[in-house]
Amino acid sequence: MAEKLTAIKGMNDILPPESARWEWLEDKVRQLMRRYGYQNMRTPIVEPTALFVRGLGEVTDIVEKEMYSFEDSLNGDKLTLRPEGTAGSVRAINEHNFLYEGGKRLYYIGPMFRHERPQKGRYRQFHQVGAEVLGFAGPDVDAELILMTAALWRDLGLSIGQDVSLQINSLGQPEERKAHRAALITYLEENIDQLDEEARRRLHSNPLRILDTKNPAMQALVEAAPKLIDFLGEASLAHFGAVKFALEAAGIPYQVNTRLVRGMDYYNLTVFEWVTDKLGAQGTVCGGGRYDGLIEQLGGKPAPAVGWGLGMERLLLLLQEIGVEAPSTAPDAYAMVFAGTPMPVVLATLEVLRAQGVCVQLHPAGKDGPASPKSQFKKADASGARFALVFGPDEVAQGLVAVKPLRDGGEQTSLQLAEAAGWAHRLLAQPQAS
């Protein structure tokens, strides 16, 4: 017997019935995006490695430790499985001159890849929903993106403030961050004996990320460090103030977290995260912010941009944790075919019902013909269908089908096959069993 092959560690199969929860979430996302006027975009899973080195920053964790990078054996190109969606989106926008006619609101859904230690809700292949707004500089767009995520939580049955909470910050502009960076390095150098090995490594390459440390021994040091918000100029503070005012006007509670910096180098001005305390240490469900310099940095004409991304695995885990269930995917009806029944008549009738929107699952015959009625009734009940359509040879010869309710104890009736299109609505009108 050949060796059984298995999936790569941290890259998971998603099979029914679990896949139905994914489809439900994706449908919710697509409905949300349509309401806000966002259009779908799809970019390649494989991109040039240089895109992420230049876009995310050479000293970010993703570029240094987590990317799946390789050399194309045919032409020597250096390629990477995309670890996030923003850089590829900007590359596509630039390549196709997509902002020529003005700003765009776009979204994507798809797999990303990071080589990190697999753990609950965090995998090496994970799936991300992202929204990107390109070509608009005002704080109203920042606020709209945050309000959109709040609307998604409501659509999914999550409670804002209880299941998820919002943290926001401003990273200001490059010159403001440069001044803060210098003050931060000076402060950390004066306290270098309190830095762990990782912080010492980042001290001169990416000191802002030290503020995001999870090391308990460094928390007091980090709390007393110079705060970026104290270095922001009038324009940056006004932008941040406008975002906060919009959130307050919409009734969205938030906390200003001056240590919130995000993991990529391309952010400026507004950054935000939706966090939860129901998933252990891995508390971020969705995060994003403004990245006005990235389009030019990746070779396009200067243009502002802002966006967010959320991990679908993490969100589905949170929904499961608080008891939010996806709607049933059970069929409306289960078709049972007894021995001696002409199958072409059955198939033609089922196609009429399906054309009217009725979901019908057919019990397929085996190589020896249809299964016993008892076996078929058992399968019909297990399917979760509300009705069994019983195609017996005597009934079909009379142009009839027996319709038996499976959930509410109603009476079995016989209906005309020729009038299937007319009575299909009755099957759809019956309330779904809980």
Q: What is the bridge-based pairing of β-strands 305-311 and 333-337?
A: unpaired
Which superfamily, per CATH, for 333-429?
Anticodon-binding domain (3.40.50.800)
Provide the pLDDT for residue 345.
Answer: 94
The contacts of residue 55 (CB under 8 Å, 6+ apart) are: 86, 87, 90, 91, 264, 266, 294, 297, 298
> Which amino acid, 315?
L
The CATH-assigned architecture of domain 18-172+232-322 is 2-Layer Sandwich (3.30)
pLDDT digits (tens, 9 = 90+) for 368-416: 778 888 999 999 999 999 999 999 999 999 999 999 999 877 889 999 9
H-only helix segments in 224-342: 234-249, 294-297, 312-322
Beta bridge partners of residue 164, listed in sequence order: 160
Q: What is the bridge-based pairing of β-strands 387-391 and 400-405?
A: antiparallel
pLDDT digits (tens, 9 = 90+) for 211-267: 878 888 889 898 899 988 899 999 999 999 999 999 999 999 999 998 887 766 678
Task: Delimit the domains of the chain by residue range.
Answer: 18-172+232-322, 333-429
DSSP state at residue 277: S
Q: Give percent of the chain with pLDDT exceeding 70.
A: 97
Give which of 402, 350, 406 is closest to 378, Cα–Cα. Answer: 406
Q: Which residue has the tokens 């995001």?
A: 212
Asked if 315 and 368 count as a contact pair (C-beta separation under 8 A), the reply is no
Query: Across the chain, what does the average pLDDT equal?
Result: 90
pLDDT digits (tens, 9 = 90+) for 4-33: 999 989 999 999 889 999 999 999 999 999
Asked if 60 and 206 count as a contact pair (C-beta separation under 8 A), the reply is yes
Greater pLDDT, 86 or 64: 86
| Fold match between domain 18-172+232-322 and domain 333-429 | no
